[in-house]
Structure 1
Amino acid sequence: MKGHLAPNARAISLIKGLEITAEGTRLFSEEITRILNIPCAALSGANIANEVAMEKFCESTIGCQNMEDGMVFKKLFNTPYFRISVIQDHVGVQLCGALKNVVAVGAGLSDGLGHGSNTKAAIIRLGLMEMRKFGQTFFGDAVQTETFFESCGAADLITTCNGGRNRKVAEAFVQTGKPIEQLEEELLNGQKLQGTLTAQEVNEFLSARSMQKEFPLFNTVYRIIYEGLSPEAITAEI
C-alpha cells in the first residue's frame, strides 16, 4: 500500500492494544501513520464479534486526531445496531484496548477462586482506576479522563471481564494449575493470550521506572502468572 495511496487518504486501526517495552510505548495507529504517511484513527469498544454479526445492539468508540476525519469514519461504520461515538483521543482509545486485558486476567483469577460478583466488581473498579492512572501518568494531556467512560473504556472492560478469553484462561489457570502455555494450546488452539503478554510488557515498563507498587493490580496479576505468587493475592495484594 505504501506509495500507492492518495494524499487525502485516511486510515483507521481496528487493532485493540499497543506495544509496550521498557523503553516506552508505541501505538499501532502511529505505526500506520509512519509507514503510510497518512493520518490514522482507532476504533475500539465492547464489540463481541459474534454478537455484532448477529446485529445485536452495541456501541463503539472512534478516537481520532481530527474530528472531521472521525465523522467521516462514523458515517462509514454507524448503523442502527452499531452505534459510534467519536472523540478526539486516539491514544486513550488504544490504551484502553490494551490494559483492559490485564484487568480481565485478574477477574478470571477471582472467578477461579470462586469469589463472587462483589469481588469482581471491585477488581473492575480498581482496574479502571489503574488504567486511567497509567494514561495520565505516562501520556498526560494526550489522554482524556472521559475516554475511560466510553465504550472503549468501561464498557469494553466490563464485557471482557465477564466473557472474554482472558477471563476464561485465567479462571482455568487457577482451577487446573496448568501453565498458561498449555491452556493456550487447549483452550485457544495455540493462540497467545493478550492479557498475560500485556501484563508482562506493563511490568517491564513499570519496573524500568521503579513504579510497580504504584499499580498494585497490574503488579499482582503479573506476579501470579509469572512469579508463582498465590492466586489468593488477587484480593490480598490490591
Structure 2
Amino acid sequence: MVSDVAGVSLGGALKNIVALAAGFVDGRGWGDNAKAAVMRVGLLEMVRFGREFFGAEVRPSTFTEESAGVADLITSCMGGRNFRCAKMAVERGVSVDEVERTELDGQMLQGTTTAREVNSFLKARGLEARYPLFTAVIGILDGKYKVDDIPALVAKQAHGFKKE
C-alpha cells in the first residue's frame, strides 16, 4: 500500500508523457541508451513536477522507489500503448494523432491529453523551460519540433537537477 495518493496519481499520468518520448526515440532507432536517458530525464521531471506543485503532499520516493512510480514508468516506456503509438508514428512518418485514429479502435491515448494539459499548466506559469522533456513532447505532437530535436531540447538536463 502506498499512502501518497497524489504521488501515485501524478506518476500514473506523467509517465505517459515520458512513454511518448521513449516511443519517439525508439522509433528513430537511437537504441536503449537513448531511451534510458529519456526515461531518466522524464523521471526527474516527474519528481520535480510533484515537488514544485504539490510540495509535502507528494513524496519523491513514490516516484523513485514504488512500483507505482519507476516500475510503471519503465513498463510504459518499454511497450505501453503510448510508447507503441509514438514509435509507430515515427516509423510511419505520421502524427501520433493519426496512429491513434487508425490503430486504437476508438480508444484514446492518455499521453497526448496529459501532455497538452501539463503544457497548458506550465505555459500559464511561464515554466515550460523547467520541463524540457515535457515541453519537447508537446512540441513534437503539435509539429513545432521534430524527434531529432529531442537531444538539443533536453541537453540542459544532462547533469540532472542539481540546482533548484
TM (norm. structure 1) is 0.63
Which residue does the alignment assign to 2:37?
A: 122
Structure 1 unaligned runs (5+)?
Answer: 1-85
Is 2:96 aligned against 1:180?
yes
- Which structure's residues are more often helix, by fraction? 2
User: Any idea what SS the aligned residue of 2:125 has?
Assistant: coil
CA distance in 1 between partners of 2:23 and 2:40 (Å): 15
Note the residue ranges of structure 2 that are not aligned, 5 or more in a row: 155-164
Calculate the aligned-residue CA RMSD, in Å.
1.0
Aligned length: 153
TM-score, normalized by length of structure 2?
A: 0.90
Task: Give 1 or 2: higher strand fraction.
Answer: 1
Larger RCO: 1 or 2 (CA < 8 Å, sep 6+): 2
Equivalent residue number for residue 140 of structure 1: 55
Matched, 1:232 2:154: no
Report the Cα offset of residue 228 of structure 1: 3.3
Partner of 1:205: 121
1:232 and 1:209 mapped to 2: Cα distance? Answer: 27
AA partner of residue 112 (structure 1):
G
Is the radius of gyration larger for structure 1 or structure 2? 1
**Residue in 2 that maps onto 1:98:** 13
d(CA) in 2 for partners of 1:107 and 1:184?
A: 17
Counterpart Cα distance in 2 of 1:182 and 1:123: 23
Q: Which amino acid aligns with 2:37?
A: A
Shift of residue 181, structure 1, vs aligned partner: 2.7
Q: Give secondary structure in 1 for the equivalent of 2:89.
A: helix
Residue 236 (structure 1) shift: 2.0
- Find the aligned partners of 2:11 and 2:108 in 1 and give their Cα distance: 19
Identity between Structure 1 and Structure 2 (%):
48
Deviations 1:67-100 (A, max 9, x none): xxxxxxxxxxxxxxxxxxx122111010000000
